Chains A and B, each alone.
Chain A
């Protein structure tokens, strides 16, 4: 990168806030989706909004692309750096700025971890609802960019339902405040668009979040089923009965086995398990819990475990939340998808996935937010076997097309990023995408803010990226990727 430009960056964030060393920059080559890699031109670690503003202004003036990154746990290559650009690493902006329990709000910098928000207020009986599985290692800035969900969004919604206000640096370097501490600030709901815009419209420097009062009662049930069909039908029946649990999660045999091997949650040996959690007042939870037990037994559920205490509840959730990481126990590599389907089509789509599993010869594990219809099929493959990575990617794409066939979505919470940008035309028409581009153009006419993400471009989609090959430094054991 241009030396003068680098010196100016050092003026803004200090010498220790600029990472120029090529070996050090390897750290930032990818986010959680390691099959996409690109080393940034330079990385900066600002500590204040003014420093972010300074960096963005400089990029704007110099026509240099920039990408904001938090903890890098995203799964869509949304924080993939631009090789000729600046990576703005937000991890040093990790202060909790204000806790206002009287109004059930907390204001944080984007580098604060999701789980830390809850930790800061749980002693007073409050919590922050969105709970992505990575909540102990992912930061609020990334949650904001991706509109993260989690197991409990069935009842409580996503990040967008809990963000009240934000301070953001626009791509021209201006700082704006959208939303606010009070609800319904007059004006267009740009906050509603900014959340989930995958860092393509602005760099967020401060976020005010709403907190919820911890429920009086929480009850968690785990039930086993002899087929994913029966488990899927139980999910439909729960929803049809007019019950909105806090969470309904499903795991199949493959993912149960992986979770057992990794964290021993004590799941039964079954084709599928459902985890259903109810929360609310004592009387409400008690009344609805009975109905859920009935629905499960009507659908031939067995081995019902009801968490006796917080410890057992924690173990059940640990089994579920560890499922992704646990897959390493049973497969060298896996490709995860994030498609969404209407809940009622669950049995149909699961059947198609099983057929695909047989046809392709690749094991496909399924762990998903069943209540929302958000699937996380895990396509297992072995890097060492020639062609299997490519096959896995094709199989994963095929699953996405099943989701779209039944009116679903490419992504429920991981985002489009660089990974699925080329799939966007399967879900949206040219006119739909052009209309979204109007928003992009209003915010970022120069297209410098996280370019080549979310929207398909010829540069991005004209060529199909090959599978990941280890860097020689990595192969020699001199550096690690994660």
Chain B
């Protein structure tokens, strides 16, 4: 995309002199995304510098991709050429923790675990538990709307975000929302950028509503005799107005994890009741606490989050989860694929790990998409090797709303210079 007459040195020098300090360097192999080597890596320390770099890149016709912790660089469609890789890692502070208001403003480059360590000083946290919180940054988590098991109670980033500062491709820095938990003034650009895979602007900082850290936690480990017991048991929990913070299933293990977080007396009584309901449904149940509980959650996540394997984010109607799991068991068997799936039972949001012949994986994903009409579910590829990415569309069908999504992208990034073809649907 960049002018061929630009040399590497020129780009580095131009960025450094623009910003007024040494922020740019030549890209190295470790910076590659989808085997594409970025020409230059810039790691500014100030929001204003991000604006300057974007404004300059727009004028130059130079493409810019954004990276935080790099944990999701391979997500989304295959990358196009990357002239400048803009790293947010040098902007990594919790800017303000308004603990009396249960809100915090965090810079994009702060990791989730560091953020929560700071917030824990006042017994609060940003209630998100996506995979890899040690490396994943706030910017990346927001840009991908990533979340974990406790989405069941606390929601995803789009449910917690109350404000954002962003840099547009023309270098203009703008904000949306604010620092109060209730606010309907103006368009909600923070929500628009959440889950946009960085294709509309660069997230500089975000403000969230927080949650108190619960005093106690218990997890009920349920071993299912058959996967369809999951549906019956979940219906029982709902009928009893049980209030878990996470409600997960894992196949082919045939286990469920039901977590309760509150004060000690409450978690004991809720977990005891949830265990009794599981036994009544014909499953075996164990109430876990402390290290055993943590280990159960680690094992659960490890079923899916394996380096080098394909990971598909699968959403279904909650009532169709069990039939999907049964279908899947048969389909992976005939295709001789190794698989693992963990899912939010109450929400119908699952993560499917696949390993085996690429052609078979492709065929399975296409078959899944055939089962899921637009609006009733989706199968989006999160992580995969380049070969698979080139064989199959990352996103699957998006529906008739895509036209207006393209119009929004066109307004925010008319030349398509930001995270080229990386946004949803290839925006």
Interface residues of chain A, those whose CB is within 8 Å of chain B, are: 100, 102-104, 125, 146-147, 149, 153, 157-158, 160-161, 165, 170, 174-190, 192-193, 195-197, 213-216, 236, 239-240, 242-244, 280-281, 283-284, 287-288, 340-344, 369, 372-374, 407-416, 420, 424, 427-429, 431-436, 438-443, 454
Contacts A153-B182, A215-B241, A443-B404 known; 18 new A-B pairs at CB < 8 A: A147-B184, A161-B159, A182-B316, A183-B347, A184-B378, A187-B405, A187-B424, A189-B145, A192-B188, A192-B191, A213-B238, A214-B241, A242-B212, A244-B211, A343-B100, A411-B183, A415-B184, A416-B186
Residue-wise interface mask of B (85-108) relative to A, using a CB-CB cutoff of 8 A (1 in contact, 0 not): 000000000000011111100000
Inter-chain contact A436/B186, CB cutoff 8 Å? yes
Query: Which residues of A sit under 8 angstroms from B178, Cβ to Cβ?
Result: 407-409, 427
- Give the CA-CA distance A287 to B124 in the complex, in Å: 20
In whole angstroms, what is the CA distance A158 to B155 when docked? 13
B155 nearest in chain A by CB position: A161
Given the interface contacts A216-B241, A435-B176, does A409 sit within 8 Å of B374 by beta carbon?
A: no
Partner of A428, one of B186, B213, B265, B375: B186
Asked whether B18 is an interface residue with its Cβ less than 8 Å from the other chain, the reply is no
A373 touching B181 by the CB < 8 A rule? yes
Decide if B182 touches A432 in the complex (CB within 8 Å): no
A370 CB to nearest B CB, Å: 11
B326 in the interface, Cβ–Cβ < 8 Å? no
Write out the residue numbers on chain A whose beta carbons fall within 8 Å of the beta carbon of B191: 160, 189, 192-193
Among residues 233 to 279 in chain B, which have CB atoms less than 8 Å away from a CB atom of chain A? 238-243, 262-263, 265-266, 269-270
Given known A-B contacts A103-B319, A190-B408, A442-B410, A197 and B187 have beta carbons under 8 A apart: yes
Q: Report if B402 contacts A (CB, 8 A).
A: yes
Beta-carbon contacts of B121-146 to A below 8 Å, as 1s and 0s?
00110000000000000000000010
Note all chain A residues with C-beta closer than 8 A to B262.
284, 287
Residues of B within 8 A of A443 (CB): 404, 407-408
CA distance A200 to B405 in the complex (A): 17
- In the complex, are the beta carbons of B265 and A287 less than 8 A apart? yes
Shortest beta-carbon distance from A34 to chain B in Å: 21
Contacting pair A442 B404 (CB below 8 A) = yes
Are A372 and B179 interface neighbours, CB within 8 A? no
| Nearest CB on A from B150, distance (A) | 15
B114 interfacial by beta-carbon distance below 8 Å: no
Q: Which among A187, A369, A411 is the interface contact of B425 at CB below 8 angstroms?
A: A187
Nearest first, the 7 closest Cβ-Cβ pairs linking A and B are A180-B375, A242-B212, A192-B191, A344-B100, A435-B174, A216-B241, A102-B319
Residue of B211, B376, B378 contacting most chain A CB atoms (<10 Å) = B378
| B266, A281: Cβ atoms closer than 8 Å | yes
The segment out of B54-62, B192-200, B293-301 that lies at the interface is B192-200
A240 to B210, CA, bound (A): 12
Closest chain A residue, CB of each to CB of B122: A240
The answer to whether B189 touches A435, judged by C-beta atoms less than 8 angstroms apart, is yes
Q: Kindly provide the distance from the CB of A177 to the nearest chain B CB, expressed in whole angstroms.
A: 6
Cα-based distance from A414 to B183 in the complex (angstroms): 10
User: Which listed residue, A102, A280, A374, A428, touches B182 by the CB 8 Å rule?
Assistant: A374
A189 partner residues in chain B, CB cutoff 8 A: 145, 158, 191-192, 194-196
Report yes or no: A184 in contact with B412, Cβ–Cβ below 8 A: no
Chain A residues within an 8 Å CB radius of B181: 343, 372-373
A103-B318, A215-B241, A343-B100 in contact; A170/B184 too (CB < 8 A)? Answer: no
Q: Closest approach, in angstroms, between the C-beta of B254 and any C-beta of chain A?
A: 22
Whether A412 pairs with B183 at a CB distance below 8 angstroms is yes
- In the complex, A438 Cα to B377 Cα: how many Å? 30
Are A146 and B412 in contact, CB atoms less than 8 angstroms apart? no
Judge if B403 is at the interface, Cβ distance under 8 Å. yes
A374 to B399, CA, bound (A): 37
- Determine the chain B residues whose CB is within 8 A of the CB of A416 once the complex forms: 184-186
Q: Are B348 and A183 in contact (CB under 8 A)?
A: yes
* B398: Cβ under 8 A from any A Cβ: yes
Q: Check A174–B192 contact: CB distance below 8 A.
A: no
CB distance from B368 to the nearest CB of A (A): 13
Cβ-neighbour of A342 out of B98, B200, B214, B265 (below 8 A): B98
How far, in whole Å, are A277 and B133 apart by their CA atoms in the complex?
34
Which one of B103, B159, B241 lies within 8 Å of A213 (CB-CB)?
Answer: B241
Q: List chain A residues, Cβ under 8 A from B242.
A: 281
